[in-house]
Amino acid sequence: MKNKFYQYIQILQDQICKGLEDIDGQAKFRQDLWERPEGGGGRTRVIENGAVIEKGGVNISAVHGALPKAMQTYFNVGEVDFFACGLSLVIHPKNPMVPTVHANWRYFEMYDPSTPPGASDRKVINSWFGGGQDLTPYYLFEEDAKHFHETCKTACDKHSPEFYPKFKKQCDEYFWNAHRDEARGIGGLFFDHCQATEDMTMDNWYDFVTEVGNSFLTAYLPIVERRKDLPYTEANRIWQEIRRGRYVEFNLVHDKGTLFGLKTNGRIESILMSLPPHVQWVYDHHPEAGSQEEKLLNILANPVEWI
Amino acid sequence: MKNKFYQYIQILQDQICKGLEDIDGQAKFRQDLWERPEGGGGRTRVIENGAVIEKGGVNISAVHGALPKAMQTYFNVGEVDFFACGLSLVIHPKNPMVPTVHANWRYFEMYDPSTPPGASDRKVINSWFGGGQDLTPYYLFEEDAKHFHETCKTACDKHSPEFYPKFKKQCDEYFWNAHRDEARGIGGLFFDHCQATEDMTMDNWYDFVTEVGNSFLTAYLPIVERRKDLPYTEANRIWQEIRRGRYVEFNLVHDKGTLFGLKTNGRIESILMSLPPHVQWVYDHHPEAGSQEEKLLNILANPVEWI
A106-160 pLDDT per residue, tens: 999 999 888 877 777 788 899 999 999 999 999 999 999 999 999 999 999 999 9
For B198, list phi and psi in degrees, rounded to 5. -60, -35
Q: Is A102 a catalytic residue?
A: yes
CA distance B116 to B101: 40
A189-248 pLDDT per residue, tens: 999 999 999 999 999 999 999 999 999 999 999 999 999 999 999 999 999 999 999 999
Contact B278 A275 (CB under 8 A): no
Please answer whether residues B94 and B50 qualify as being in contact, where contact means their C-beta atoms are separated by less than 8 angstroms.
yes
Q: Under 8 Å CB-to-CB from A201, ≥6 apart: which residues? A: none
Assess if residue B307 is contained within a domain.
no
Residues of B in contact with A268 (CB under 8 A): 179-180
Task: Enter the DSSP assignment of B5.
Answer: H
Residue A265 has pLDDT above 90, yes or no: no
- To the nearest whole angstrom, how far is the Cα of A193 from the nearest Cα of chain B? 25
Confidence of residue B183 (pLDDT cuts 50, 70, 90): very high
Please answer whether residues B44 and B32 qualify as being in contact, where contact means their C-beta atoms are separated by less than 8 angstroms.
yes
Long-range CB contacts (< 8 A, 24+ apart) of A17-25? A17/A45, A17/A47, A17/A58, A19/A217, A19/A221, A20/A47, A20/A53, A20/A56, A20/A58, A20/A91, A21/A47, A23/A52, A23/A221, A23/A224, A23/A225, A23/A228, A24/A50, A24/A51, A24/A52, A24/A53, A25/A50, A25/A51, A25/A52
Burial of B290 (0-12, 13-18, 19+ CB in 10 A): exposed
The DSSP annotation for A185-209 comes to SSEEEEEEEE---SS--HHHHHHHH
User: Residue B216 pairs with which residues in a beta bridge?
Assistant: none
Burial of A73 (0-12, 13-18, 19+ CB in 10 A): exposed
Residue A10 has pLDDT above 90, yes or no: yes
- For chain B, how many residues are written? 307
Confidence of residue A68 (pLDDT cuts 50, 70, 90): confident
Please answer whether residues A239 and A232 qualify as being in contact, where contact means their C-beta atoms are separated by less than 8 angstroms.
no
Interface test with B, best of A248, A259, A284 (most B CBs within 10 A): A284
ipTM for this prediction: 0.94
Size of interface A-B (CB pairs under 8 A): 71
Assess if residue A110 is contained within a domain.
yes
CA distance B242 to B257: 23
pLDDT at B68: 87
Please answer whether residues A28 and A47 qualify as being in contact, where contact means their C-beta atoms are separated by less than 8 angstroms.
yes
CA distances for A143 relative to A139, A146, A266, angstroms? 12, 5, 38
Residue B13 has pLDDT above 80, yes or no: yes
- The CB density around residue A178, as the number of other CB atoms within 10 Å, is 10
Residues of A in contact with B277 (CB under 8 A): 280-282
Q: Does A279 touch chain B (CB under 8 A)?
A: yes
Q: Under 8 Å CB-to-CB from B222, ≥6 apart: which residues? A: B147
Contact A277 B278 (CB under 8 A): no
Residue A273 has pLDDT above 90, yes or no: yes
Please answer whether residues B38 and B65 qualify as being in contact, where contact means their C-beta atoms are separated by less than 8 angstroms.
yes
Residues of A in contact with B275 (CB under 8 A): 245, 281
Number of domains in chain B: 1
Q: Does A180 touch chain B (CB under 8 A)?
A: yes
Q: Does B166 touch chain A (CB under 8 A)?
A: no
Residues of B in contact with A180 (CB under 8 A): 268
The mean pLDDT value of chain B amounts to 95
Confidence of residue B131 (pLDDT cuts 50, 70, 90): very high
- The CB density around residue A201, as the number of other CB atoms within 10 Å, is 11
Choose the closest CB to B283 out of A46, A180, A284. Answer: A46
Mean pLDDT of B206-219: 98
CA distance B257 to B129: 14
Please answer whether residues A172 and A189 qualify as being in contact, where contact means their C-beta atoms are separated by less than 8 angstroms.
no
For A9, list phi and psi in degrees, rounded to 5. -70, -25
List the catalytic residue out of B64, B102, B147, B159.
Answer: B102
Residues of B in contact with A241 (CB under 8 A): 278
Q: Which domain holds residue A128?
A: 2-301
Q: Does A57 touch chain B (CB under 8 A)?
A: yes
Contact B269 A283 (CB under 8 A): yes
Assess if residue A34 is contained within a domain.
yes
Assess if residue A307 is contained within a domain.
no
A240-264 pLDDT per residue, tens: 999 999 999 999 999 988 877 777 7
Assess if residue B306 is contained within a domain.
no
CA distance B230 to B97: 7
B190-205 pLDDT per residue, tens: 999 999 999 999 999 9
Local structure of B265: helix, strand or coil: coil
Identify the helix (H) or strand (E) that includes residue A43: strand A40-48
Region class of A62: left (phi > 0), else alpha (psi between -120 and 50), else beta = beta
Please answer whether residues A206 and A1 qualify as being in contact, where contact means their C-beta atoms are separated by less than 8 angstroms.
yes
Q: Does A277 touch chain B (CB under 8 A)?
A: yes
CATH of the domain at B170: 3.40.1500.10
Q: Report CA Rg, chain A.
A: 19
pLDDT at B46: 97
Confidence of residue B116 (pLDDT cuts 50, 70, 90): confident
Residues of A in contact with B241 (CB under 8 A): 278
Choose the closest CB to A48 out of B179, B180, B283. Answer: B283
- To the nearest whole angstrom, how far is the Cα of B227 from the nearest Cα of chain A? 24
CA distance B205 to B224: 29
Identify the helix (H) or strand (E) that includes residue B7: helix B2-24
Assess if residue A93 is contained within a domain.
yes
B 23-42 residues inside an 8 A Cβ radius of A:
32
The mean pLDDT value of chain A amounts to 95
CA distance B37 to B59: 18
Mean pLDDT of A159-187: 97
Please answer whether residues A219 and A146 qualify as being in contact, where contact means their C-beta atoms are separated by less than 8 angstroms.
no
Confidence of residue B115 (pLDDT cuts 50, 70, 90): confident
Q: Does A77 touch chain B (CB under 8 A)?
A: no
CA distance B206 to B5: 8
Residues of A in contact with B32 (CB under 8 A): 284
Assess if residue B121 is contained within a domain.
yes
Q: Report CA Rg, chain B.
A: 19
- To the nearest whole angstrom, how far is the Cα of A227 from the nearest Cα of chain B? 24
Assess if residue B59 is contained within a domain.
yes
